[in-house]
């Protein structure tokens, strides 16, 4: 049975005139995510800290231009363990007033039909990466607690020389059985890659799969297989079209559509783009861009390649060498017109984007080069690319992390013990 944490992404239209009050409710919860300031009956609350299934969760309000000027919609995104119905039952159980939040959405008819309402508005991910596929929220927090107990014991006890030697041996010499099990799991995971490729070709066309894959691998020569592929196909990152950046000189100006067809996905209502960033060890990033209709097939092929690699080949805690991502997903929504990106990661926004550019620059181009507003030189024009990302970022009114002080590298270390 696959125990990989699952993701839920819900987009629901908000009733006209209800968004301001809903945003105020959500922000009150987000400002007190651990529920330390709320008392019974004072305001709606979602007691995320009581959850034993949720890894990460967020709420955000997005513009909804398809329904007309001024219209908005609610985004709920979570990563959870177990079946969806049990996740939704728990979400109801930890929410003090379900109607106060979801009652602002079109089609909501009460808590008794909450599950069918959510399922009707859920969106499937086109690509989904999980840093630790075999770890639940409970197992991660248990490993963190065990580490803290070890550290407390070490602080109160000076180990002998023999104890230190035995501890190093336990870490440096994993059992043969564990190594064989891990190798077998890697082979079993990788086996369906060929099936993934065939499926992608059938669904998106050989040309989209071929050219999309080459766009991803152009800057990945550090991997021998990609270096050989790039050599055979003479695949290279395209040269810059201009030696100068296209980023606006005035970096403090309000965000506006960059080109015809572009959209600003959220109203920056009295908040900075850095809203709810750097509050804990992890951060959240939500991006929404508009895709060129002529290039949807290419985007689907690129995301299919990313999804296959993430599910079949990526080692624990690393996506193409990036070891700061807990979970990330991409979704083509609104019948392929828009691309939604949702990520839970470690460190600052700047360092996260810098690491992406350093490790997989061509992948950034492959994903977003078909979105309106992408700089002419793509991610190679890094200042303009960062401006592009910021202008398409959606602030989260609520962001919850089940293990807020644990980085991916921390969890890798905890799993080794």
Question: At a CB cut-off of 8 Å and minimum separation 6, what does 74 contact?
Answer: 10, 11, 12, 14, 22, 59, 60, 61, 62, 104, 105
Q: What is the value of pTM for the model shown?
A: 0.90
| pLDDT on residue 160 | 62
Residue 287, Cα to own-chain centre: how many angstroms?
Answer: 10
Let me know: does 416 contact 401? Beta carbons within 8 Å: no
Let me know: does 381 contact 246? Beta carbons within 8 Å: yes
- Structure-derived torsion over alpha carbons of residues 46, 47, 52, 55, reported in degrees to the nearest 10: 60
Phi, psi of 87 (to 5 degrees): -60, -45
| pLDDT on residue 273 | 57
| pLDDT on residue 127 | 96
Domains 6-123 and 190-394 share a fold: yes
Which helix H or strand E contains 257, and what residues bound it? none
Classify domain 190-394 by CATH number: 3.30.70.100
| pLDDT on residue 126 | 96
Sheet containing 6-13: order of strands: 6-13, 72-80, 54-63, 398-401
Q: What letters, b where the CB count within 10 A reaches 16 and e where it falls short, cover 169-191?
A: eeeeeeeeeeeeeeeeeeeeeee
Phi-psi region of 344 (alpha: psi -120 to 50; beta: other; left: phi over 0): beta
Domain boundaries, the chain: 6-123, 190-394
Cα–Cα dist 164/185, whole Å: 32
Angstrom distances, CA of residue 239 to CA of 235, 372, 378:
12, 21, 11
Which residues of the chain, if any, have pLDDT below 50?
171, 173, 270
| pLDDT on residue 167 | 53
Phi-psi region of 135 (alpha: psi -120 to 50; beta: other; left: phi over 0): beta
| pLDDT on residue 270 | 45
Classify domain 6-123 by CATH number: 3.30.70
């Amino acid at each position: 049975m696959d125990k990989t944490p699952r993701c839920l992404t819900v987009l629901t239209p908000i009733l006209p005139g209800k968004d301001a009050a809903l945003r105020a409710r959500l922000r009150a919860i987000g400002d007190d995510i651990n529920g330390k300031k709320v008392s019974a009956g004072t305001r709606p609350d979602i007691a995320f800290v009581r959850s034993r299934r949720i890894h990460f969760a967020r709420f955000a309000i997005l513009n909804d231009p398809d329904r007309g000027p001024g219209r908005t919609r609610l985004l709920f995104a979570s990563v959870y363990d177990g079946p969806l119905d049990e996740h939704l039952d728990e979400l109801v159980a930890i929410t003090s007033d379900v109607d106060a939040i979801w009652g602002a959405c079109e089609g909501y008819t009460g808590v008794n039909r909450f599950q069918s309402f959510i399922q009707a508005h859920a969106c499937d991910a086109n690509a989904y990466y999980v840093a630790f596929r075999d770890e639940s929220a409970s197992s991660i927090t248990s490993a963190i607690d065990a580490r803290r107990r070890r550290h407390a014991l070490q602080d109160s006890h000076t180990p002998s020389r023999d104890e230190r030697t035995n501890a190093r041996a336990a870490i440096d010499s994993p059992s043969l059985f564990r190594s064989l099990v891990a190798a077998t799991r890697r082979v079993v995971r990788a086996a369906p890659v060929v099936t993934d490729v065939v499926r992608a070709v059938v669904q998106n066309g050989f040309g989209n799969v071929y050219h999309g894959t080459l766009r991803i691998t152009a800057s990945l020569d550090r991997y021998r297989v990609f270096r050989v592929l790039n050599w055979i196909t003479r695949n290279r990152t395209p040269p810059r079209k201009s030696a100068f950046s296209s980023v606006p000189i005035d970096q403090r100006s309000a965000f506006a559509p960059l080109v015809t067809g572009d959209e600003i996905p959220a109203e920056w209502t009295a908040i900075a783009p850095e809203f709810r960033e750097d509050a804990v060890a992890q951060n959240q990033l939500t991006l929404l861009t508009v895709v060129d209709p002529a290039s949807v097939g290419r985007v689907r092929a690129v995301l299919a390649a990313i999804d296959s690699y993430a599910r079949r080949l990526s080692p624990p805690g690393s996506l193409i060498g990036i070891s700061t991502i807990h979970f990330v997903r991409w979704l083509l929504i609104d019948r392929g017109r828009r691309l939604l990106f949702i990520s839970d990661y470690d460190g600052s926004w700047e360092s996260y984007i810098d690491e992406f550019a350093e490790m997989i620059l061509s992948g950034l181009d492959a994903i977003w080069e078909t979105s309106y507003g992408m700089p002419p030189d793509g991610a190679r024009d890094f200042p303009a690319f960062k401006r592009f990302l910021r202008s398409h970022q959606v602030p989260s009114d609520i962001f919850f992390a089940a293990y807020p002080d644990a980085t991916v590298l921390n969890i890798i270390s905890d799993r080794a013990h």
